């Protein structure tokens, strides 16, 4: 049993002898342990990460192959935002342990920040996305390309230097694997695209995982716990973002591989673009080539700087006929003034005139077509429910007035 303070003597009695003193256990699962340790074999003691795999029991050959592959790949990588390889060893202390030593990155994982209740702003998410895409550009442009296959908040470290680091290459794969070869399914639920479960991971698979990670940072909810529609993660109504960033993340996480960005370079260029709209030609997206951008859910009700599409302007019969209920699904809370008897009728007229504009600004709509369909539903409800209720109200009011006159 490994304990804090224990010193691991590696290759004892040889010129390559190393000593690592375990300081703090950072994680443990299924025969794996991750420790913060100190390298005592250098002139100035340095903090390192020691990852240990206990062979046997729950740990099978596939686990060992992944562990060894991580060491081999990490040894070949030299990039400032990836922990540097330090050592690989095995020791026999009651159990056969395989060990990987790598550079320690001072900082905190994005998962830890989420657990502490932090919610990330659009500016922070853009920075994280750009940092990770630059790392992926390096990995995917290697020969053969290196795929991480397990990008998620726990594998991204916000360093003390305010930069993002990518860690844990335990699921890494290089594309030199031959077609038809056996594979081990790796990845994390909610962050892994369908093609990866079929053993066909490609650079765009890492982009999907990045998009799912950004959704988690923005919503505070793991992507696997969010609703889905046609295998798409539905997050739009839980965030307040610029339409361009929403569309960019949607393109990262589209289930269809061919509709995704195909490489990190293209994704990074689109993220940095300030004027060019992202082409998302799916049924429930609306960013047509004319340059129109879906800006629903942006701005206040009385903010003239947020334009409203001409296609939705006009009288809203649903809001006029049912002013007491219409505000709830359209999130136009000013409409609740209709419950005040003295201003109810006036509020109904105001909602009829301004309802479309206010509803467009108050919540996120997937498209103009969805918006129109929603308002048509309210119009139909108003015709069959609102008008009869109004006549009943008038009849009751007339009866009450007649009763008073009769007295």
Q: Are 285 and 336 a contacting pair, CB within 8 Å?
A: no
One domain, residues 96 and 40 = yes
The answer to whether position 281 is within a domain reads no
The answer to whether position 292 is within a domain reads no
The answer to whether position 1 is within a domain reads no
One domain, residues 121 and 81 = no
What is the CATH classification number for the domain harbouring 127?
A: 1.10.510.10
One domain, residues 142 and 265 = yes
One domain, residues 212 and 88 = no
Overall domain count for the chain: 3
One domain, residues 113 and 261 = yes
One domain, residues 253 and 402 = no
The answer to whether position 314 is within a domain reads yes
Q: Find the domain containing 237 and state its range.
A: 107-272
Sequence-ordered alpha helix ranges (H) in 300-362: 317-321, 326-330, 344-362
The one-digit pLDDT tens for each residue of the chain (407 residues) are 788 999 998 887 777 788 999 999 998 887 789 999 999 988 788 999 999 988 766 556 777 888 888 898 899 999 999 999 999 998 876 778 899 999 999 999 999 999 998 889 899 999 999 999 999 999 999 988 999 999 999 999 999 999 999 998 877 765 444 344 444 556 688 899 989 887 788 999 999 999 999 999 999 999 999 988 888 999 988 888 888 999 999 999 999 999 999 999 999 999 998 434 444 443 334 333 333 456 777 767 887 766 788 888 899 999 998 898 999 999 999 999 988 877 888 998 999 999 999 998 888 787 788 899 999 999 998 888 877 776 776 677 677 767 777 65
Domain final residue pick, 250, 272, 294: 272
Residue 279: CA atoms inside 13 Å, Cβ hemisphere, count?
A: 5
End-to-end CA distance of the chain: 94
Strands 18-29 and 32-39 come out as: antiparallel
Domain final residue pick, 87, 103, 119: 103
The answer to whether position 53 is within a domain reads yes
Give the CA distances from residue 345 to residues 324, 336, 339, 358, 378, in Å, rounded to whole numbers and listed in that order.
10, 12, 9, 18, 18
Q: Are 305 and 299 a contacting pair, CB within 8 Å?
A: yes
One domain, residues 111 and 250 = yes
CA dist 16 and 27 (Å) reads: 28
One domain, residues 252 and 132 = yes
What is the CATH classification number for the domain harbouring 73?
A: 3.30.200.20
Q: How far does CA 122 lie from the centroid of its chain?
A: 12
Q: Are 215 and 233 a contacting pair, CB within 8 Å?
A: yes
| Strand-by-strand arrangement of the 32-39 sheet | 7-10, 18-29, 32-39, 46-55, 95-103, 85-93
The answer to whether position 280 is within a domain reads no
One domain, residues 257 and 144 = yes
Cα torsion angle, 137, 181, 66, 29, sign: positive
One domain, residues 112 and 258 = yes
Q: Are 296 and 359 a contacting pair, CB within 8 Å?
A: no
One domain, residues 24 and 56 = yes
Domain final residue pick, 57, 86, 103: 103
* Burial of 265 (C-beta count, 10 Å sphere; 0-12/13-18/19+): middle
The answer to whether position 28 is within a domain reads yes
DSSP string computed for 232-263: EE--GGG----HHHHHHHHHHT-SSGGGS-SS
One domain, residues 46 and 126 = no
pLDDT of residue 406: 63
The answer to whether position 222 is within a domain reads yes
pLDDT of residue 294: 66
């Amino acid at each position: 049993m490994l304990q804090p303070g224990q010193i691991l003597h590696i290759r004892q009695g040889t010129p390559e002898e190393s000593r690592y003193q375990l300081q703090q256990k950072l994680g443990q699962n299924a025969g794996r342990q991750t420790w913060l340790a100190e390298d005592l074999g250098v002139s100035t003691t340095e903090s390192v990460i020691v990852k240990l795999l206990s062979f046997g029991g729950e740990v099978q050959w596939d686990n060992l192959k992944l562990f060894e592959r991580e060491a081999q790949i990490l040894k070949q990588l030299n990039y400032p935002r990836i922990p540097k390889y330090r050592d690989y060893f095995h020791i026999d202390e009651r159990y056969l342990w395989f060990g990987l030593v790598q550079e320690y990155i001072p900082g905190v994982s994005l998962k830890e920040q989420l657990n502490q209740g932090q919610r990330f702003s659009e500016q922070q998410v853009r920075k994280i996305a750009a940092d990770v895409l630059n790392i992926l550009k390096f990995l995917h442009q290697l020969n053969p390309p290196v795929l991480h296959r397990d990008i998620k908040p726990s594998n991204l470290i916000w360093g003390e230097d305010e930069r993002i680091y990518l860690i844990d290459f335990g699921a890494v794969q290089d594309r030199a694997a031959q077609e038809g070869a056996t594979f081990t399914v790796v990845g994390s639920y909610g962050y892994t695209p369908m093609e990866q479960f079929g053993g066909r991971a490609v650079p765009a698979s890492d982009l999907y995982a990045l998009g799912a990670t950004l959704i988690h940072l923005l919503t505070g909810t793991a992507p696997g716990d969010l609703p889905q529609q046609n295998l798409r993660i539905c997050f739009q109504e839980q965030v307040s973002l610029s339409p361009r960033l929403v569309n960019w993340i949607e393109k990262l996480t589209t289930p269809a591989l061919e509709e995704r960005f195909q490489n990190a370079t293209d994704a990074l260029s689109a993220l940095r673009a300030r004027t060019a709209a992202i082409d998302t030609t799916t049924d429930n997206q609306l960013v047509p080539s004319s340059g129109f951008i879906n800006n629903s859910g942006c701005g206040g009700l009385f903010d003239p700087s947020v334009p409203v599409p001409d296609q939705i302007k006009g009288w809203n019969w649903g809001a006029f006929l049912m002013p007491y209920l219409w505000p709830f699904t359209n999130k136009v809370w000013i409409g609740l003034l209709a419950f005040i008897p003295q201003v109810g009728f006036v509020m109904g007229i105001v909602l009829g005139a301004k309802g479309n504009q206010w509803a467009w600004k108050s919540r996120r709509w997937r498209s103009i077509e969805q918006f129109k369909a929603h308002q048509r539903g309210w119009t139909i409800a108003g015709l069959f429910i609102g008008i009869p209720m109004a006549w009943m109200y008038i009849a009751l009011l007339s009866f009450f007035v007649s009763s008073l006159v009769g007295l």
